[in-house]
Structure 1
């Protein structure tokens, strides 16, 4: 009971939490130990949960044009503080790698016009815009001049004209199955699973065909039309059902897409109040199939240098993703045991740091108030792009190459692991 009271107080006041210990973190990955971690998510798993307590909920759509070299995301951030005040924000990023080489993403060739577009100069677009008159309707989200609408269980339409620098009209059509870890993808915080004081969850659609356009006031007012045959995307619905700096102190994220393969990784490390627990979820998809959902991963950031914010900035990565074949059932996984694990390796140089985001500058003022003054809290997101990271697959000699979006996020400075 004492820990429940402590958790309740800290979730409202924002004060530093006591050290509850590992018994107060119940991860979705631990619950699938010795089981098949891949569970196919259905469309209803992508409904907005919008709990009454303090939370941040996001729906993020990533896209990669393999021919033209465009890479970016569109995101809704929906947050509620103490059940009192709700805000919503639209954020958008569009980036194009200089001298993009499409041959590293697939076995297609480019026409002269495509080569010209892939090589021309491009100014990165980054916008963050407060939304008005927003509302949730199941899986759908609406606001003035913005909508995320599920046309069917396999097709989602994201439109926004809230910022003239990033007017989007994008359609995501499912190619590979949706993914959640286990029957219940939530990680729970607290000493009573029947009444947790916080939670975290992720549901993924890791591989989609993407069509649409982006209009911008930059880049000579260009309208960018994504290649309808070779633009791949993924999207993820995420819920932090407690204050973000209490749920996690650091994050890693990968979105690798090429002509045939997609790899997604979402990993967070809890604060020491929850024993610095690492929860790591990866997904490997090939064309229209899920290959594996590794949850026993060793994700190392290498060649770190400390920047003026005091965080370690990597120059390269080596991620060993260890999982079972997604076609195995629970009993087959149990029979095979550790010997049945397959390793998928993502590695290479992080070619360019495209953005360092000072999260406090991007937050709505009311959200800033909950973390301002909390010792050690200085959230930064480091966004990297590389056009030719390597994906090594079990039992295949030739590695895959492709463009990859990588993010590392630091939130709380309390001896964050530097790997």
Structure 2
């Protein structure tokens, strides 16, 4: 395992074969594998498999997916059954979906079928390497080992495949981000809000930027935790937790009562992996292309919904997909990359 080190001397490590295993943590936990795709045609898609344990109840399995582009904006969240893992725990499948990792552990094959109106088939091949926090990608909350959130990133992958939705077939070849996440506790206990962004350039700079940030609930001190990575010319330049999401402009959503961002500035700062040079990046974006506002309680299984409703007032997810510029400085060199970014804001609303 190779160690990666960021500006604040918080250790990161490469994602290994062992790290890609499904854990199916006991107790109340949720595990996901998610692919975020930016296509060569300027469209966006994400595909996610979810495994949720809810104490003594039988685990629930779901897929969620979105396709945005070509005059279509569709989101689906469907319960599945017959979940099973491969012997090495690196691949998973259920009635409607399979996610299979190749023997070299650098390429996923994803197939998703649902009725006649949705069929997805693509390969996602890793670019350079993945990263995680050194302690297995875990962020701990309390004194119990089960109170953690875990993230493992492939910050960039090459995508080849197709999607058929509402009778239309689209080429979804392009680039994307893969995240394997585990929440070792009930979701309403983790965070009061989340921010996430994935930028993929469509120019010769071959830039990818990702940032995942959450603010813990008051029970855990309302502290912020984040991690992000920078790829330039298809090489992982740096990983860092010195990242900030600033809401420059907001508006009040009358339906939910949340103050929702309409303009955001994302910033990254750290040290490069090879030469330990200073690097920084920022994206300032006007969120003028909203994709969706998702009422989370409408999309989760009944038992989990009842648990969450007892503690969470109104969890909503806001999503946008826009074109924008990433401004990057590495040592004395500066560059501006043009591309697309998927932005997500989750407001939880603790009771």
TM-score (norm 2): 0.91
Q: What SS class does the counterpart of residue 294 from structure 2 fall into?
A: strand
Which residue does the alignment assign to 1:359?
296
User: In the alignment, is the contact (CA less than 8 A) between 1:127 and 1:166 conserved in 2?
Assistant: no
Question: Alpha carbons of 1:326 and 1:163: their partners in 2 closer, same or farther (altered >3 Å)?
Answer: farther
User: In the alignment, is the contact (CA less than 8 A) between 2:6 and 2:238 conserved in 1?
Assistant: no
Which residue does the alignment assign to 2:33?
59
Larger RCO, structure (CA 8 Å, separation 6 or more): 1
Count of aligned positions: 339
Which residue does the alignment assign to 1:302?
248
Shift of 1:349: 1.3
Q: What SS class does the counterpart of residue 371 from structure 1 fall into?
A: helix
Which residue does the alignment assign to 1:42?
16
Give distance in 2, aligned partners of 1:296 and 1:257: 20
Give distance in 2, aligned partners of 1:247 and 1:32: 24
CA deviation map 1:293-317 (0-9, x unaligned): 1201221022111102011211111
Which residue does the alignment assign to 2:347?
410
Give distance in 2, aligned partners of 1:35 and 1:142: 39
Shift of 1:32: 7.3
CA deviation map 1:30-76 (0-9, x unaligned): x978426442111321211111110111110111113x111110001
Determine whether 1:88 maps to 2:35.
Answer: no
Q: What SS class does the counterpart of residue 102 from structure 2 fall into?
A: strand
Which residue does the alignment assign to 1:288?
234
Shift of 1:358: 0.3
Which residue does the alignment assign to 1:239?
182
Shift of 1:162: 2.8
Question: Alpha carbons of 1:34 and 1:391: their partners in 2 closer, same or farther (altered >3 Å)?
Answer: closer
Give distance in 2, aligned partners of 1:85 and 1:263: 37
User: In the alignment, is the contact (CA less than 8 A) between 1:179 and 1:204 conserved in 2?
Assistant: yes
Structure whose alpha-carbon radius of gyration is higher: 1
TM-score (norm 1): 0.77
CA deviation map 1:246-285 (0-9, x unaligned): 0111100011001401111111110011111111101111
Q: Over the residues paired in the alignment, what is the CA RMSD in angstroms?
A: 1.9
More helix by share: 1
CA deviation map 1:143-190 (0-9, x unaligned): 113210012311110001134332100100111211112243111222
Give distance in 2, aligned partners of 1:365 and 1:173: 35
Give distance in 2, aligned partners of 1:343 and 1:70: 28
Matches within 5 A, 1:124-203: 124-137=73-86, 138-152=89-103, 153-191=105-143, 195-203=144-152
User: In the alignment, is the contact (CA less than 8 A) between 2:6 and 2:239 conserved in 1?
Assistant: no
Give distance in 2, aligned partners of 1:163 and 1:310: 36
More strand by share: 2
Q: What SS class does the counterpart of residue 204 from structure 1 fall into?
A: strand
Give distance in 1, aligned partners of 2:142 and 2:30: 18
Structure 2's unaligned 5+ residue stretches are: none
Q: What stretches of structure 1 move > 4 A for 4+ residues in a row?
A: 31-34
Which residue does the alignment assign to 1:350?
287
Which residue does the alignment assign to 1:368?
305
Q: What SS class does the counterpart of residue 399 from structure 1 fall into?
A: strand
Q: What SS class does the counterpart of residue 19 from structure 2 fall into?
A: helix
User: In the alignment, is the contact (CA less than 8 A) between 1:256 and 1:405 conserved in 2?
Assistant: yes
Question: Alpha carbons of 1:169 and 1:69: their partners in 2 closer, same or farther (altered >3 Å)?
Answer: same
Q: What SS class does the counterpart of residue 23 from structure 2 fall into?
A: coil
Shift of 1:142: 0.8
